[in-house]
Structure 1
Amino acid sequence: MNLSSSISSQSLAINEREAPLICFSHLRWDFVLQRPQHLMARFAKQRAVFFFEEYIPTDHHLAYFEIHPFEGTTVKSIRPRVPHWWNAAERNLALSRLLDEFLAMSGARRPILWFYTPAMYEFARHIDAAAVIYDCMDELANFRFAPDRMKDMEAALMARADVVFTGGYSLYEAKCKQHSNIHPFPSGVDVDHFHQARQRVVEPADQQAISGPKLGYYGVIDERLDLELIASLAAARPDYSFIFIGPIAKIAPEDLPRAQNIHYLGQKHYGELPAYVSGWDAALMPFALNGSTQFISPTKTPEYLAAGRPVISTAIKDVIRHYGEVEGVFIASDPQHFAQACDDALLLARSGNAWWKPVDQMLEGSSWDKTFLAMEGLVDGVISSTGFAHMQAAKGTSRKTAASKPIILGEVVGVPGL
């Protein structure tokens, strides 16, 4: 490689390290703050980040999208709306056109494409990208209401992806032979945020009225929870209060177990969680052992520990792997042992805080900042390699780029009916 081509490739790599990032997610930005929000908020400090969400059915006769800004971040959500009567082919064609419209309007050239679901790759596969990233948080094909073709969609995305991340080691082991550049990244923890729960701040009013001992769970309430376990636990320990915080998804509210000592407090903001956890004596992870939990690596495990609360969990593989020997984590294989583990966790909580020290030492390597920096290094590496390949392919040809246009917040852009 001669000097001029070396300089050109370096310049291209520098430019593309500032390329906008489009994150395709089945989870909405303002639903529950978890892995996508932690990572994208950090990427947004160095580049424009757009969060392209799952489409919303509409009664309107054409497809269009909305741009939503949010307080406290420069990340903007792109929310497509598609007529509810269109079939899958019509819908994907419309979404592809909407994506093209957005790229033209924003002036984004060769963006980074980051996927949390393979289903959205179908309408984005034609985009010329600086890099394609697949951050596989879960085995979505095993989730309720997943598309029948999810595994085929994932195979297509894996074939195109420059780098693949997984949300835990079990998921990595299941997929490591499917890609040559794949890396396990269990979710991180915002230690300082959850340390606030150790200060015994004033409990929110809706929880303060609940008598103790209090054992709590926060997160999405869906098919991953063992509802029968929760019901039997409440019956076995009538003097304990079991608190559940979070939105209900993919299960009917009437199917939730009900008892005088089970309390559903609804969805709370991420910033409120330490105040709620401060009033708990222990934290729960009553996950069902099924296809949807086979490969999960729950973010809430290190969050609960950072909050200084003993954790009682069912036998989730990655929880056993990473926390099975940690004092303060109790793993139970059936309802009877789960109830006994709750008793043991409460005894530990009342014995003092000596068990916090080894937990805090373990959590030092689990920050979101460290997770982000490691991912960023891998992304920069693939941008450099794909950027040079793109320069070589385009050498000797002229390329015209559209003038950059400012994004007008709240502007709605539509695609005519098919």
Structure 2
Amino acid sequence: MNVGKLFRMIRHPRVLTRKLLHRLPKYYRNILLCFPNEKRIKGQINELLAKKPKNPIIIFPSPSCPWGYLFQRPQQLARAFAKLGYAVIYLVDTSFVGSPDWEVRGLFKIEENLYLYNDGLDGELLKKSLEGEKILIWQYWPHQRNVIKENLHHVNSIRIYDCIDHINTFDSYDKIQIDFENSLRESDYILATANGIANDLRQLGFNPLLIPNGVNINDFEQYQRIKWDDLDDLRLNSKVIVGYYGAIASWFDFSAIRYAAEMKPDWTFLIVGEVYSDVQKDVHALRRSYPNVIFKSRVSYDFIPQLLSYFDIAVLPFLINEITLNTSPVKIFEYLAGGKPVVSSNLPEVNGLSSVFISNNKIEFYEKLLEAETKKDDEQFILKLTKEAEENTWENRLNKVLTRVEELL
């Protein structure tokens, strides 16, 4: 742990306490955190099974992408499964000290058919409780393999390995390559989010199904508005708002934003998201030199549709590297669903979208912004954007997978 992170935790005693509790041995941690006993948890699962859910039951294993952190592909797919009528059990743990993950003890209903789950034992009680039930285990990280093997896999289970990112994107550990390749071999079906990932898998001898990211259209058509004073003021005082939300990391093209901000000092460039430590100097430099470039902290997914409504143009300024060449950016489809003209770097998984303005360098990025600005109030163009979003929903993605899964049921 770096010194800066330690001092931030010390300034927030509750966070520090939760982190320390999570590091205790499971037995003592579960007592202190008041986990229900085995009988109570099995009773919760039996209540779920009594509702006669569709087969199979969908399980997203731990360690997981925290439900309350960045709302990404795993959470979106879990929601999409639930909307299709499947019971979904999404494992969380107390390593994430925020809500709702930290509060989950046993089975916790978050939406219709969708449950968060933490038994304090990495899902060990699920295997006992679901014996005889048909389940689909949706793995998306190499390091979930041990939990699946020890605590979840049984004779009636179907396993999918969803290659959501290039393996070099993950935090490395000694056995990551072994876990990755064994997970591929042990799965019934393998998915890839991007063509680059699919090609790499084919070279390893596998035949993946290409399932890019998608969007939930309803989230961007119907959402609760809140009073957002600073953005209301920004909207009133900005001729054009060029917006981005998401991770601000080493793949972010600061030079493209810098050039456009210099060329258009009367436009506002609003960048919202978590700033990774390796680019903090770049962020500070932009802030100092260009007052029309504004950075704001990340917001939860619930507020993304309203945030997007403030944009005139949405952007994806990414450098071209191994990570971005193998990325299916979920925000592209969200931008389209929000009816915003989009300017993006020339990424393989984006340049096939007919309504997106594609740039190859910082000068083209600026020129495409000028083109996009002429379309921001064009009703026919906005209709084209939303139509392309409708062709790329999470439900459409899942239906392709379920066609394969039904062959094994």
**Could you tell me the TM-score, scaled by structure 2's length?**
0.72
Tell me, what secondary structure is at the counterpart of 1:373?
A: helix
Tell me, what secondary structure is at the counterpart of 1:222?
A: coil
> Residue 348 of structure 2 corresponds to which residue in structure 1?
317
> Residue 206 of structure 1 corresponds to which residue in structure 2?
230
Tell me, what secondary structure is at the counterpart of 1:30?
A: coil
Structure 1 residue 265 and structure 2 residue 292: aligned? Answer: no
> Residue 214 of structure 2 corresponds to which residue in structure 1?
188
Tell me, what secondary structure is at the counterpart of 2:190?
A: strand
> Residue 332 of structure 1 corresponds to which residue in structure 2?
359
> Residue 114 of structure 2 corresponds to which residue in structure 1?
75
Q: Residue 142 and residue 229 in structure 1: after superposition, are their counterparts in 2 closer, same or farther (change >3 A)?
A: farther
Consecutive unaligned residues of structure 2, counting only runs of 5 or more, are 1-51, 98-103
Q: Which has the larger radius of gyration?
A: 1
> Residue 144 of structure 2 corresponds to which residue in structure 1?
120
Deviation, 1:144, is: 6.2
Q: Residue 15 and residue 72 in structure 1: after superposition, are their counterparts in 2 closer, same or farther (change >3 A)?
A: closer
Once residues 117 and 71 of structure 2 are traced to their aligned partners in structure 1, the CA distance between those partners, rounded to angstroms, is 17
Match of 2:249 among 222, 230, 237: 222
Structure 1 residue 277 and structure 2 residue 303: aligned? Answer: no
- Do 1:20 and 1:108's aligned partners in 2 also have CA atoms closer than 8 Å? no
Tell me, what secondary structure is at the counterpart of 2:305?
A: helix
Tell me, what secondary structure is at the counterpart of 2:143?
A: helix
Deviation, 1:216, is: 0.6
Once residues 15 and 195 of structure 1 are traced to their aligned partners in structure 2, the CA distance between those partners, rounded to angstroms, is 29
Deviation, 1:110, is: 6.3
- Do 1:219 and 1:246's aligned partners in 2 also have CA atoms closer than 8 Å? yes
Once residues 53 and 311 of structure 2 are traced to their aligned partners in structure 1, the CA distance between those partners, rounded to angstroms, is 49
> Residue 388 of structure 2 corresponds to which residue in structure 1?
362
Tell me, what secondary structure is at the counterpart of 1:186?
A: coil
> Residue 293 of structure 1 corresponds to which residue in structure 2?
324
> Residue 377 of structure 1 corresponds to which residue in structure 2?
403
> Residue 142 of structure 1 corresponds to which residue in structure 2?
168
Cα deviations across residues 121-166 of structure 1 (Å, max 9, x unaligned)? 1343243251111111111x22263335433321111110100111
- Do 1:24 and 1:117's aligned partners in 2 also have CA atoms closer than 8 Å? no
**Percent identical:** 21
> Residue 132 of structure 1 corresponds to which residue in structure 2?
159
Greater RCO, 1 or 2 (C-alpha within 8 Å, sep 6+): 1
Consecutive unaligned residues of structure 1, counting only runs of 5 or more, are 1-13, 59-64, 82-96, 385-418
> Residue 155 of structure 1 corresponds to which residue in structure 2?
181
CA RMSD of aligned residues (A): 3.3
Cα deviations across residues 233-279 of structure 1 (Å, max 9, x unaligned)? 33343222111223345646455242422222322233322222222
Structure 1 residue 34 and structure 2 residue 72: aligned? Answer: yes
Match of 1:23 among 61, 65, 87: 61
Once residues 373 and 318 of structure 1 are traced to their aligned partners in structure 2, the CA distance between those partners, rounded to angstroms, is 20
Deviation, 1:16, is: 9.4
Q: Residue 305 and residue 331 in structure 1: after superposition, are their counterparts in 2 closer, same or farther (change >3 A)?
A: same
Cα deviations across residues 14-42 of structure 1 (Å, max 9, x unaligned)? 99934452434642112122321222123
Cα deviations across residues 377-402 of structure 1 (Å, max 9, x unaligned)? 222323x3xxxxxxxxxxxxxxxxxx
- Do 2:256 and 2:366's aligned partners in 1 also have CA atoms closer than 8 Å? no
Stretch of structure 1 that moved more, 141-150 or 329-338:
141-150
Match of 1:348 among 367, 375, 382: 375
Tell me, what secondary structure is at the counterpart of 1:260?
A: coil
Q: Residue 20 and residue 334 in structure 1: after superposition, are their counterparts in 2 closer, same or farther (change >3 A)?
A: closer
Tell me, what secondary structure is at the counterpart of 2:265?
A: coil
Tell me, what secondary structure is at the counterpart of 1:121?
A: helix
Q: Residue 355 and residue 117 in structure 1: after superposition, are their counterparts in 2 closer, same or farther (change >3 A)?
A: same
Stretch of structure 1 that moved more, 287-296 or 145-154:
145-154
The amino acid of 1:364's aligned partner reads E
Q: Residue 338 and residue 144 in structure 1: after superposition, are their counterparts in 2 closer, same or farther (change >3 A)?
A: farther
Once residues 65 and 376 of structure 2 are traced to their aligned partners in structure 1, the CA distance between those partners, rounded to angstroms, is 35
Once residues 128 and 331 of structure 2 are traced to their aligned partners in structure 1, the CA distance between those partners, rounded to angstroms, is 39
Stretch of structure 1 that moved more, 98-107 or 165-174:
98-107
Structure 1 residue 168 and structure 2 residue 194: aligned? Answer: yes
The amino acid of 1:235's aligned partner reads E
**Could you tell me the TM-score, scaled by structure 1's length?**
0.71
Q: Residue 47 and residue 57 in structure 1: after superposition, are their counterparts in 2 closer, same or farther (change >3 A)?
A: closer
Cα deviations across residues 192-238 of structure 1 (Å, max 9, x unaligned)? 432469xxx88732212223210111223333322343344333432
Once residues 142 and 170 of structure 2 are traced to their aligned partners in structure 1, the CA distance between those partners, rounded to angstroms, is 16
Higher helix share: 2
Q: How many residues align?
A: 340
